[in-house]
Chain A
Amino acid sequence: MEFFSKADLIGTLPLLVVFGCSLLLLLLDALFKDAKKLVFSVGIIGMLTAIGCSLYTFPLSATAFSDMVLVGGYASFFNILFLTIGIIVFLLSYSYLEKQHYHLKEFYTLIVISISGMMLMASSADLIIIFLGIEIMSVCFYVLAGYKRIKVEGNEAALKYFLLGAFATGFLLYGIALIYGTMGTTNLIRISQNFDAFSHPLYLAGWGLLLIGFSFKIAAVPFHMWAPDVYEGSLTTVTALMSTGGKAAAFSSFILAFSIPLSMHNEKLMMVIAILSAASMLIGNVFGLAQKNIKRMLAYSSIAHAGYMLVGLASGTKLGMDGIIFYLISYSLTNLGAFGIISIFEKENGGNLSYEDYAGLGSRKPILAALLSLCMFSLVGIPPFAGFIGKYYLFASAVQSNLTWLAIIGVMTSLVSTYYYLRIVVYMYFRESQQSELIFVPSLALASVVLVSIGIFIFGIFPSLILNVIQNLL
């Protein structure tokens, strides 16, 4: 009996390339002593190759390995997103790690492995694969979060993330077990299509536990407690990866698991997700107001943005799903830009992270300040930037599903968020600087930040470029 066919291998080519690449990096790591540059460049080449493979598999639409893994379309699309995020994080990290004196080559290997986990999550056609993907990604994140290993914050971040994360994974696994116990299968499509047919309490409990697991990974209230500390304690480029790739991956499998049950307009499920969403928007944005550290502020902002994206999920419409995917792209670009610029400004030993340190940057570093303002305006959701189009889609989907109240909470909390996002702009442009130290701007990091900013702008003005692709995914 054959376990897999040639088509399976071709379909999962991007995954295989990234897995292969990570193994290769491990080997290089062991063989050469001072191989930072080598590991860095091989990693980038590997990811670029995988993007190429994803483009190649994009037109396919099938499953591989006995209905375990999705091939093409949705999966390929997300693969490209994760790989792009990975490449940008690589580019940002090189000089940043040098500056922070944490430049170890395992860093790159860990990132590549975590990206393979994300890719697995977006291609899962089976609950087991979701679990596998989440674990691969999370274990890497636990290690990456503790990268500042001689610092208290680093250890705190890693430990907190690990303990809470392990709990959440436990919930997820328990949920999978209960669903399997009542349905007799772990196949996602079969389970979700029969969502309404079963009403066994254990079955529903299984879905509930699944929901908790995902909510933890996307940092939705009330499972958000880890985010601020972990975001603050990790290296900035790691935070960039967690807040973009990690969130996008969690949402990609969240959509896979929940979009079909939600499209059946199950009132109760819709309500539960709507409440999670409203709570995330409210708490994320209100707590964001009180922050003094920019990374912490962005952590609360990421909680709030999880809430915005849940609006689309709660609506259960296709418009909402398209909205989430678009939003994930715009949010990833924006956060990469913001964290990238923060990592450039950050001093050795993690200084320069409070609002006051950004005073007068508008005249000291005009380009970077302009780009950071652009990111902030996009996060607020002001046209003509990508963030606005995303919000427009999500709120439109809410109105369509009779969730106008959720859309109103959404816009009201956006208003609250305006204040703290603009605070950075206020400090950069309207206040004078007390510092006169030179800021070194590494060219790789600058290039990647400029690139994502162009992306934010282009997707804001010509959203159809990507929306037309997204429409045909689900």
Chain B
Amino acid sequence: MLTYLLFSPFIGILLLFFINKEKLSLIKWIGVGTSLISFVISLALYFQFDAANTQMQFVQQVQWISALDISYYVGVDGLSILLIVLTTFLTPIALIGSWDSITVRLKEYVMFMLLLEVGMLGVFLSVDLFLFYVFWEAMLIPMYFIIGIWGGKEKIYAATKFFIYTMAGSLLMLIAILWLGYYASTLPDGMFTTNLQKLYAIAPSIPMNIQLWLFLAFALSFAIKVPLFPLHTWLPDAHVQAPTAGSVILAGVLLKMGTYGLLRFCLPLFPDASLQCASYISTLAVIGIVYGALVAMVQTDIKKLVAYSSVSHLGFVVLGIFSMTEEGIQGGIIQMINHGLSTGALFLLVGMIYDRRHTREISAYGGIAKQVPLFATFFLIVTFSSIGLPGLNGFVGEFLILFGSFQSRILGNYIYAIIAASGVIFAAVYMLWMYQRVFFGKLTNPENQSLTDLTKREIGVLIPLIIFIVWLGVYPKPFLNLSAETTKQLVKKIEQVKSGNVTLGQ
């Protein structure tokens, strides 16, 4: 089943090979249709998923390269199920959202988007480090082209920077993966392996000094992807230059791969090192929260503002994860989904207005609420969700994360939560201030008088996002339940390591 899900976008890619590139609407429908098929499969997965089971589910394992014990090994657990659904949910939305804005080389565009979907699903599904790395890297190629071909003015710079930054992190991770495999082969009866399940059992016993290096290699790669302050500089460039759908996917899913990686690999593989580094990484996360918010405040470009707000929001996720409490990690997972929904929606909205006016400067707008009431309403809901207003999704995640980090014994200090909480206030400042400058006041710019409100297609794209934004805010329990057991397991494991440490120390 997972294999069908993973490779379902290929149906569209294969079909597209045989279709004349002039048939624009057919191409779009194939893209949307294929991504909807994947979505339906992932929904089936979602409903069959057993939340009480902490093991990998729906596993499939096929030997790939036997000499190095590499296998095609896929599975789903509580950490990944929501992210998989998010991926398949956002892809059709992004495709429909960019229905009219992509005018050149449409066929290649749709193909790259579907290819990207395969890569993202692969990252979340892999239970083999080699397989994971393959998808992790392979996914760079379609994103690179999406930014580079359909991007804005500085697209070449942004695409190259994105590519090289991400490569830099992942290559060190490759060495760490190799080292793990080699370590497995030095144990009695051991052999070189990249099988994650086997490594989960082996890796925590790696001596601390080496474990620290391995942890850092993995963490660096993920921190670049997240991006954690101070490795975030590629993000604004890539976001601003990417086409709307690219930004939606980039913010909605790609960034989550970093936090997912921390959760899936760093914590369980290197618990000792994670414990030791938790306070440092949390410090960086908190700096990121405040820094991202402050920089967002002074942006004049709406898209850049949203991009910096991502740095801030993802800081929360990292803080939640490294609080290593159930609440914090659960909040982190739910916040990943929230951020995917609300920032995805924000980028879509910015894209919609950009399609009309071809500018994203805040100063070019003002007082357009009367002109485009529907647009303003949607924008307001999403803004509130991004700020974390109770009743909408953002609140749930941020609250859990703050709660988790407040009571975390591993961080052992209230200061993280207190400073992070100020990020919520800053978020309200920059988002509302931006909203005010764009929508309220007098309509001063005559060009804005001819603005048209949302079309049916655009409303259709936004409605599903809004539904989930409200649903998650009002009744998050079914979503939280999915990851509850797996999180408990993970926290328990870390607690054990921690208490083990204490006895060793005494």
Contact = CB atoms under 8 A, between A and B. Distances in A.
B65 A463 contact: yes
Given A463-B65, A464-B66, A382 B160 contact: no
A459 to B, nearest CB: 11
B298 interface: no
B491 interface: no
Contacts of A383: 133-135, 137-138
A412 B171 contact: yes
A362 B174 CA distance: 31
Chain B: interface secondary structure? Answer: helix
B164 interface: yes
Given A377-B141, A396-B192, A388 B134 contact: yes
A430 interface: yes
Interface string A417-432: 0110010011001110
Interface in A381-403: 382-384, 388-389, 392-393, 395-396, 399-400
Nearest to A366: B108
A399 B137 contact: no
A415 interface: yes
B175 interface: yes
Contacts of A384: 134, 138
Given A412-B171, A419-B164, A399 B179 contact: yes
A418 B174 contact: no
A430 B168 contact: no
A418 B164 contact: yes
Contacts, number: 86
A429 B144 CA distance: 11
Interface string B134-174: 11011011001100110000011001100110011001101
Contacts of A412: 171
Nearest to A408: B175
Interface string A434-474: 00000000000000000000000000000110011001000
Given A388-B134, A411-B174, A419-B160, A467 B67 contact: yes
Contacts of A389: 65
Given A415-B171, A422-B160, A382 B138 contact: yes
Given A415-B164, A422-B160, A404 B175 contact: yes
A414 interface: yes
Nearest to B21: A366
Given A414-B171, A415-B168, A419-B160, A382 B155 contact: no
Given A382-B141, A429-B148, A418 B167 contact: yes
A363 interface: yes
Contacts of A414: 167, 171
Contacts of B155: 430
B4 interface: no
B185 interface: yes
Contacts of B168: 415
A411 B181 CA distance: 17
Given A430-B148, A430-B149, A430-B159, A396 B68 contact: yes
Interface of B: 64-68, 105, 130, 133-135, 137-138, 140-141, 144-145, 148-149, 155-156, 159-160, 163-164, 167-168, 171-172, 174-175, 178-179, 181-182, 185, 192
